[in-house]
Amino acid sequence: MAMIQINNLTKRYRDLTAVEDLNLTIEKGDVFGFIGPNGAGKTTTIKVLATLLEPSTGQAYVDGVDVVRNPLEVRRLIGYMPDFFGVYDDVKVWEYLDFFAAAYKIPTNKRKGIIDDVLELTDLTGKRESYVEGLSRGMKQRLCLAKTLVHDPKVLLLDEPASGLDPRARIEFRALLKELQAMGKTIFVSSHILPELADFCNVVGIMERGHLVVAGSVNDIVQRLEGAIVLDARLTGDPENGARALQLLNGYPEIKEARAEGNHVTIDFTGTHEQLPQLLSHLVTNGIPVASFSQREADLEDVFMKVTKGIVQ
Ligand SMILES: Nc1ncnc2c1ncn2[C@@H]1O[C@H](COP(=O)(O)OP(=O)(O)OP(=O)(O)O)[C@@H](O)[C@H]1O
Ligand SMILES: [Mg+2]
Protein backbone atom coordinates (compact mmCIF):
# COMPACT_ATOMS: atom_id res chain seq x y z
CA MET A 1 0.00 0.00 0.00
CA ALA A 2 1.00 3.63 -0.53
CA MET A 3 2.72 5.49 2.32
CA ILE A 4 -0.02 8.12 2.33
CA GLN A 5 -3.44 7.38 0.92
CA ILE A 6 -6.28 9.90 0.98
CA ASN A 7 -9.67 8.80 -0.30
CA ASN A 8 -12.53 11.22 -1.01
CA LEU A 9 -11.54 13.42 1.89
CA THR A 10 -13.90 16.27 2.70
CA LYS A 11 -13.50 18.60 5.65
CA ARG A 12 -16.12 21.17 6.57
CA TYR A 13 -15.93 23.85 9.24
CA ARG A 14 -19.61 24.56 9.85
CA ASP A 15 -20.83 25.90 6.47
CA LEU A 16 -17.38 26.30 4.93
CA THR A 17 -15.92 23.41 2.94
CA ALA A 18 -12.14 23.68 3.41
CA VAL A 19 -11.28 20.47 1.50
CA GLU A 20 -13.61 18.76 -0.93
CA ASP A 21 -13.37 15.20 -2.21
CA LEU A 22 -9.58 15.03 -2.14
CA ASN A 23 -7.88 11.91 -3.49
CA LEU A 24 -4.13 11.53 -3.19
CA THR A 25 -1.62 8.69 -3.25
CA ILE A 26 1.95 9.19 -2.11
CA GLU A 27 4.44 6.35 -2.36
CA LYS A 28 7.27 5.48 -0.01
CA GLY A 29 10.25 7.77 -0.60
CA ASP A 30 8.25 10.39 -2.47
CA VAL A 31 8.82 14.03 -1.74
CA PHE A 32 5.41 15.54 -2.33
CA GLY A 33 5.00 19.29 -2.69
CA PHE A 34 1.56 20.46 -1.65
CA ILE A 35 1.10 23.86 -3.21
CA GLY A 36 -1.65 26.41 -3.06
CA PRO A 37 -2.53 29.98 -2.17
CA ASN A 38 -3.87 31.11 1.21
CA GLY A 39 -7.00 29.28 2.25
CA ALA A 40 -6.55 26.45 -0.28
CA GLY A 41 -6.90 23.76 2.38
CA LYS A 42 -3.26 22.72 2.82
CA THR A 43 -3.09 23.02 6.60
CA THR A 44 -6.48 21.36 6.96
CA THR A 45 -5.33 18.34 4.94
CA ILE A 46 -2.04 18.08 6.83
CA LYS A 47 -3.84 18.26 10.17
CA VAL A 48 -6.09 15.39 9.14
CA LEU A 49 -2.99 13.31 8.32
CA ALA A 50 -1.44 14.41 11.62
CA THR A 51 -4.59 13.09 13.42
CA LEU A 52 -5.35 16.57 14.80
CA LEU A 53 -8.57 16.99 12.82
CA GLU A 54 -11.15 14.39 11.90
CA PRO A 55 -12.42 14.29 8.31
CA SER A 56 -16.08 15.18 7.76
CA THR A 57 -16.18 12.34 5.24
CA GLY A 58 -13.61 10.16 3.52
CA GLN A 59 -10.55 8.28 4.75
CA ALA A 60 -6.85 8.86 5.17
CA TYR A 61 -4.14 6.28 5.84
CA VAL A 62 -0.48 6.57 6.75
CA ASP A 63 1.48 3.42 5.94
CA GLY A 64 -1.86 1.64 5.77
CA VAL A 65 -2.98 2.82 9.20
CA ASP A 66 -6.30 4.67 9.42
CA VAL A 67 -5.84 8.15 10.94
CA VAL A 68 -9.28 8.12 12.53
CA ARG A 69 -9.29 4.59 13.89
CA ASN A 70 -5.68 4.37 15.02
CA PRO A 71 -4.42 7.90 15.67
CA LEU A 72 -1.83 6.81 18.23
CA GLU A 73 -0.26 4.36 15.83
CA VAL A 74 -0.23 7.04 13.11
CA ARG A 75 1.51 9.50 15.44
CA ARG A 76 4.40 7.08 15.83
CA LEU A 77 4.78 6.98 12.05
CA ILE A 78 4.74 10.71 11.42
CA GLY A 79 6.78 13.76 12.29
CA TYR A 80 4.56 16.82 12.10
CA MET A 81 5.92 20.33 11.79
CA PRO A 82 3.11 22.87 12.22
CA ASP A 83 2.99 26.20 10.42
CA PHE A 84 3.41 28.09 13.68
CA PHE A 85 6.14 27.56 16.20
CA GLY A 86 4.94 27.82 19.78
CA VAL A 87 6.78 29.86 22.38
CA TYR A 88 8.78 28.09 25.05
CA ASP A 89 10.24 30.16 27.87
CA ASP A 90 13.24 29.06 29.88
CA VAL A 91 13.81 25.89 27.90
CA LYS A 92 17.17 25.00 26.47
CA VAL A 93 17.49 23.45 23.03
CA TRP A 94 18.46 20.01 24.34
CA GLU A 95 15.74 20.12 27.00
CA TYR A 96 13.17 20.92 24.36
CA LEU A 97 14.21 17.88 22.33
CA ASP A 98 14.47 15.73 25.45
CA PHE A 99 10.90 16.67 26.34
CA PHE A 100 9.62 15.39 23.00
CA ALA A 101 11.80 12.30 23.12
CA ALA A 102 10.30 11.53 26.53
CA ALA A 103 6.81 12.15 25.18
CA TYR A 104 7.54 9.50 22.55
CA LYS A 105 8.62 7.19 25.38
CA ILE A 106 12.18 6.90 24.16
CA PRO A 107 14.15 5.38 27.07
CA THR A 108 16.38 7.84 28.98
CA ASN A 109 19.63 6.04 28.09
CA LYS A 110 18.93 6.38 24.36
CA ARG A 111 17.80 9.99 24.38
CA LYS A 112 21.21 11.66 24.52
CA GLY A 113 22.45 9.86 21.42
CA ILE A 114 19.29 10.63 19.50
CA ILE A 115 19.36 14.29 20.50
CA ASP A 116 23.01 14.53 19.42
CA ASP A 117 22.09 12.99 16.07
CA VAL A 118 19.17 15.29 15.29
CA LEU A 119 21.15 18.35 16.43
CA GLU A 120 23.95 17.34 14.10
CA LEU A 121 21.57 16.75 11.22
CA THR A 122 19.89 20.12 11.65
CA ASP A 123 23.20 21.88 12.22
CA LEU A 124 22.33 22.99 15.74
CA THR A 125 25.02 21.16 17.71
CA GLY A 126 26.52 24.49 18.76
CA LYS A 127 23.18 25.64 20.16
CA ARG A 128 22.66 22.67 22.46
CA GLU A 129 22.79 24.76 25.65
CA SER A 130 21.10 27.88 24.23
CA TYR A 131 17.61 28.94 25.23
CA VAL A 132 14.99 28.29 22.55
CA GLU A 133 13.55 31.82 22.76
CA GLY A 134 16.97 33.27 21.88
CA LEU A 135 17.29 31.40 18.58
CA SER A 136 16.80 33.13 15.26
CA ARG A 137 13.75 32.24 13.22
CA GLY A 138 15.72 29.98 10.90
CA MET A 139 17.25 28.14 13.85
CA LYS A 140 13.85 27.77 15.48
CA GLN A 141 12.56 26.31 12.26
CA ARG A 142 15.41 23.81 12.19
CA LEU A 143 14.84 22.98 15.84
CA CYS A 144 11.20 22.38 15.06
CA LEU A 145 12.28 19.96 12.34
CA ALA A 146 14.73 18.33 14.75
CA LYS A 147 11.82 17.81 17.13
CA THR A 148 9.83 15.99 14.46
CA LEU A 149 12.73 13.58 13.96
CA VAL A 150 13.42 12.31 17.48
CA HIS A 151 11.24 9.21 17.11
CA ASP A 152 12.64 8.45 13.64
CA PRO A 153 9.31 8.76 11.79
CA LYS A 154 8.80 7.26 8.33
CA VAL A 155 6.74 10.20 7.15
CA LEU A 156 7.36 13.93 7.60
CA LEU A 157 4.42 16.32 7.40
CA LEU A 158 5.87 19.79 7.05
CA ASP A 159 3.51 22.74 6.88
CA GLU A 160 5.34 25.61 5.17
CA PRO A 161 8.67 24.84 6.79
CA ALA A 162 10.51 27.50 4.81
CA SER A 163 8.18 30.43 5.36
CA GLY A 164 9.86 33.51 6.76
CA LEU A 165 13.37 32.28 6.06
CA ASP A 166 15.94 34.37 4.23
CA PRO A 167 17.18 33.06 0.84
CA ARG A 168 20.29 31.44 2.30
CA ALA A 169 18.32 29.76 5.09
CA ARG A 170 15.82 28.52 2.52
CA ILE A 171 18.57 26.90 0.49
CA GLU A 172 20.03 25.29 3.61
CA PHE A 173 16.62 24.06 4.61
CA ARG A 174 16.13 22.52 1.20
CA ALA A 175 19.49 20.77 1.51
CA LEU A 176 18.35 19.38 4.84
CA LEU A 177 15.14 18.05 3.30
CA LYS A 178 17.20 16.42 0.57
CA GLU A 179 19.26 14.70 3.21
CA LEU A 180 16.11 13.39 4.86
CA GLN A 181 14.88 12.20 1.49
CA ALA A 182 18.15 10.33 1.01
CA MET A 183 17.51 8.67 4.39
CA GLY A 184 14.38 7.17 2.84
CA LYS A 185 11.78 9.37 4.52
CA THR A 186 8.55 10.13 2.75
CA ILE A 187 8.08 13.89 2.84
CA PHE A 188 4.85 15.82 2.51
CA VAL A 189 5.68 19.51 2.39
CA SER A 190 3.43 22.50 1.76
CA SER A 191 4.23 25.88 0.30
CA HIS A 192 2.62 28.85 -1.42
CA ILE A 193 5.31 28.87 -4.03
CA LEU A 194 5.74 26.29 -6.77
CA PRO A 195 9.31 27.22 -7.77
CA GLU A 196 10.39 26.82 -4.16
CA LEU A 197 9.52 23.12 -4.21
CA ALA A 198 9.75 22.24 -7.87
CA ASP A 199 13.39 21.22 -7.96
CA PHE A 200 13.38 18.76 -5.11
CA CYS A 201 9.86 17.33 -5.08
CA ASN A 202 9.33 14.40 -7.42
CA VAL A 203 5.58 14.92 -7.23
CA VAL A 204 3.53 18.03 -6.64
CA GLY A 205 -0.15 18.71 -6.19
CA ILE A 206 -1.72 22.11 -6.60
CA MET A 207 -4.73 22.95 -4.45
CA GLU A 208 -7.14 25.76 -4.83
CA ARG A 209 -10.16 26.50 -2.67
CA GLY A 210 -10.33 22.97 -1.34
CA HIS A 211 -9.85 21.24 -4.67
CA LEU A 212 -6.83 19.46 -6.03
CA VAL A 213 -6.50 21.12 -9.43
CA VAL A 214 -3.59 19.11 -10.75
CA ALA A 215 -1.08 16.53 -9.49
CA GLY A 216 1.91 14.76 -10.97
CA SER A 217 5.56 15.44 -11.71
CA VAL A 218 6.44 19.06 -12.37
CA ASN A 219 7.46 18.18 -15.93
CA ASP A 220 4.15 16.48 -16.63
CA ILE A 221 2.15 19.36 -15.23
CA VAL A 222 4.07 21.94 -17.21
CA GLN A 223 3.64 19.92 -20.37
CA ARG A 224 -0.05 19.40 -19.78
CA LEU A 225 -0.60 23.11 -19.27
CA GLU A 226 1.60 24.32 -22.06
CA GLY A 227 0.53 21.52 -24.39
CA ALA A 228 4.08 20.89 -25.55
CA ILE A 229 7.71 20.56 -24.51
CA VAL A 230 9.58 23.60 -25.79
CA LEU A 231 13.04 22.67 -27.07
CA ASP A 232 15.94 24.90 -27.94
CA ALA A 233 18.44 23.46 -30.42
CA ARG A 234 21.63 25.34 -31.28
CA LEU A 235 23.38 24.29 -34.48
CA THR A 236 26.92 24.90 -35.65
CA GLY A 237 28.21 25.79 -39.10
CA ASP A 238 26.24 27.30 -41.96
CA PRO A 239 23.23 29.39 -40.78
CA GLU A 240 21.28 27.57 -43.49
CA ASN A 241 21.40 24.52 -41.23
CA GLY A 242 18.44 25.98 -39.33
CA ALA A 243 16.28 25.88 -42.47
CA ARG A 244 17.47 22.33 -43.23
CA ALA A 245 16.50 21.26 -39.73
CA LEU A 246 13.03 22.70 -40.24
CA GLN A 247 12.57 20.71 -43.43
CA LEU A 248 13.58 17.56 -41.63
CA LEU A 249 11.29 18.30 -38.69
CA ASN A 250 8.34 18.89 -41.00
CA GLY A 251 7.71 15.22 -41.53
CA TYR A 252 8.54 14.14 -37.98
CA PRO A 253 5.70 12.99 -35.69
CA GLU A 254 4.60 14.98 -32.61
CA ILE A 255 6.03 18.28 -33.82
CA LYS A 256 3.47 20.99 -33.16
CA GLU A 257 5.63 23.74 -34.56
CA ALA A 258 9.26 24.45 -35.34
CA ARG A 259 10.87 27.83 -35.92
CA ALA A 260 14.39 28.81 -36.89
CA GLU A 261 16.34 32.01 -36.55
CA GLY A 262 19.59 31.24 -38.27
CA ASN A 263 21.14 28.40 -36.30
CA HIS A 264 18.77 28.64 -33.37
CA VAL A 265 15.84 26.25 -33.74
CA THR A 266 12.84 26.22 -31.41
CA ILE A 267 10.63 23.15 -31.40
CA ASP A 268 7.23 22.65 -29.76
CA PHE A 269 7.17 18.91 -29.21
CA THR A 270 3.98 17.16 -28.11
CA GLY A 271 5.62 13.77 -27.52
CA THR A 272 6.97 12.48 -24.22
CA HIS A 273 10.30 13.02 -22.49
CA GLU A 274 11.23 9.45 -23.35
CA GLN A 275 10.97 10.28 -27.05
CA LEU A 276 13.43 13.17 -26.89
CA PRO A 277 16.62 11.13 -27.46
CA GLN A 278 15.03 9.71 -30.61
CA LEU A 279 14.24 13.17 -31.90
CA LEU A 280 17.80 14.34 -31.25
CA SER A 281 19.22 11.27 -32.91
CA HIS A 282 16.96 11.85 -35.94
CA LEU A 283 18.44 15.32 -36.41
CA VAL A 284 22.05 14.24 -35.92
CA THR A 285 21.93 11.13 -38.11
CA ASN A 286 20.47 13.27 -40.89
CA GLY A 287 23.46 15.54 -40.81
CA ILE A 288 22.17 18.43 -38.70
CA PRO A 289 25.15 19.59 -36.57
CA VAL A 290 23.41 19.93 -33.20
CA ALA A 291 25.70 21.57 -30.64
CA SER A 292 23.14 21.79 -27.86
CA PHE A 293 19.64 20.46 -27.37
CA SER A 294 17.73 21.44 -24.28
CA GLN A 295 14.31 21.80 -22.84
CA ARG A 296 13.37 25.37 -22.13
CA GLU A 297 12.85 26.00 -18.43
CA ALA A 298 9.19 26.56 -17.78
CA ASP A 299 8.26 29.70 -15.95
CA LEU A 300 6.84 27.96 -12.90
CA GLU A 301 5.41 31.14 -11.50
CA ASP A 302 3.47 31.45 -14.71
CA VAL A 303 2.32 27.82 -14.57
CA PHE A 304 1.16 28.31 -11.00
CA MET A 305 -0.81 31.42 -11.92
CA LYS A 306 -2.45 29.53 -14.76
CA VAL A 307 -3.55 26.69 -12.50
CA THR A 308 -4.77 28.77 -9.60
CA LYS A 309 -6.90 31.78 -10.12
CA GLY A 310 -5.71 33.19 -6.83
CA ILE A 311 -9.19 33.56 -5.44
CA VAL A 312 -9.06 33.58 -1.67
CA GLN A 313 -11.97 32.06 0.18
N1 LIG B 1 -10.68 26.15 12.61
C2 LIG B 1 -11.29 26.66 11.55
N3 LIG B 1 -12.57 27.08 11.62
C4 LIG B 1 -13.20 27.60 10.53
N5 LIG B 1 -12.63 27.69 9.31
C6 LIG B 1 -11.36 27.30 9.18
C7 LIG B 1 -10.62 26.76 10.28
N8 LIG B 1 -9.38 26.44 9.84
C9 LIG B 1 -9.34 26.77 8.53
N10 LIG B 1 -10.54 27.28 8.13
C11 LIG B 1 -10.88 27.71 6.76
O12 LIG B 1 -10.63 26.63 5.87
C13 LIG B 1 -10.06 27.10 4.66
C14 LIG B 1 -8.76 26.37 4.42
O15 LIG B 1 -7.82 26.76 5.40
P16 LIG B 1 -6.37 26.14 5.52
O17 LIG B 1 -5.75 26.70 6.75
O18 LIG B 1 -6.45 24.67 5.42
O19 LIG B 1 -5.67 26.73 4.23
P20 LIG B 1 -4.13 26.79 3.82
O21 LIG B 1 -4.05 26.28 2.42
O22 LIG B 1 -3.30 26.13 4.84
O23 LIG B 1 -3.86 28.36 3.81
P24 LIG B 1 -2.53 29.19 4.19
O25 LIG B 1 -1.71 29.20 2.95
O26 LIG B 1 -3.06 30.56 4.50
O27 LIG B 1 -1.88 28.54 5.35
C28 LIG B 1 -9.93 28.60 4.80
O29 LIG B 1 -10.99 29.21 4.17
C30 LIG B 1 -9.97 28.83 6.29
O31 LIG B 1 -10.53 30.08 6.58
MG1 LIG C 1 -1.75 26.78 6.03
pLDDT in tens, 123-170: 999 999 999 999 988 889 899 999 999 999 999 999 999 888 888 888
Half-sphere exposure (Cβ direction) of 260: Cα atoms closer than 13 Å: 17
Q: Comparing 99-108, 117-126, 163-172, which segment has the lowest mean pLDDT?
A: 163-172
Residues pairing with 205 in the sheet:
34, 215
Distance (Å) from CA 119 to ligand 2 centroid: 27
Q: Is 42's C-beta closer than 6 angstroms to any atom of ligand 1?
A: yes
Give 23-76 pLDDT, tens digit per residue: 999 999 999 999 998 999 999 999 999 999 999 999 999 999 999 999 999 999
pLDDT of residue 306: 72
Contact 48, 54 (CB under 8 A): yes
Domains in the chain with CATH codes: 4-216 (3.40.50.300), 223-300 (3.30.70.100)
Among 108-117, 237-246, 286-295, 296-305, the least confident range: 296-305
Lowest mean pLDDT among 11-25, 85-99, 297-311: 297-311
Please state whether 137 falls in left (phi above 0), alpha (psi between -120 and 50) or beta.
Answer: alpha
Express each pLDDT in 182-206 by its tens digit: 999 999 999 988 777 877 888 999 9
Cβ neighbours around 57 below 10 Å, total: 12
Per-residue pLDDT at 297? 73
Closest ligand 1 atom to residue 44 Cα is: 18
For a pLDDT cut of 70, what percent of the chain falls above it? 98
| Any atom of ligand 1 within 6 Å of the Cβ of 44 | yes
List for the chain the helix, strand, coil content (%; round to 5).
Answer: 40, 30, 35
The span from the CA of 267 to the CA of 288, in Å, is 14
Q: Which atom of ligand 1 is nearest to the CA of 160?
A: 27
pLDDT at 87: 67
Residue 233 pLDDT more than 80?
yes
Q: How high is the mean pLDDT of the chain?
A: 91
**Rounded Cα gap, residues 11 and 14, in angstroms:** 10
pLDDT of residue 200: 80
**Mutational test site, ligand 1, from 9, 43, 196, max ligand atoms within 8 Å of CB:** 43
81, β-bridge pairs: 158
One-letter amino acid at 244 equals: R
Distance (Å, whole) CA 162 – CA 140: 11
Distances (CA, A) of 152 to 62, 144, 145, 184, 286: 15, 14, 12, 11, 55
| Nearest of 135, 179, 172, 177 to residue 157 by alpha carbon | 177
* pLDDT at residue 312 in the model: 44
Give the pLDDT score at 167. 84
Ordered DSSP codes for 3-30 = SEEEEEEEEEETTEEEEEEEEEEE-TT-
Neighbouring residues of 151: CB distance < 8 A, sequence distance ≥ 6: 76, 79, 100, 101, 104, 106
pLDDT of residue 129: 96
Q: What percent of the chain has pLDDT over 90?
A: 71
Condensed to tens digits (0 to 9), the pLDDT of residues 253-277 reads 999 999 999 999 999 999 988 999 9
Distance 159 CA to ligand 1 centre (A): 12
- pLDDT for res 310: 53
| Gap from CA of 217 to ligand 2 centroid (Å) | 22
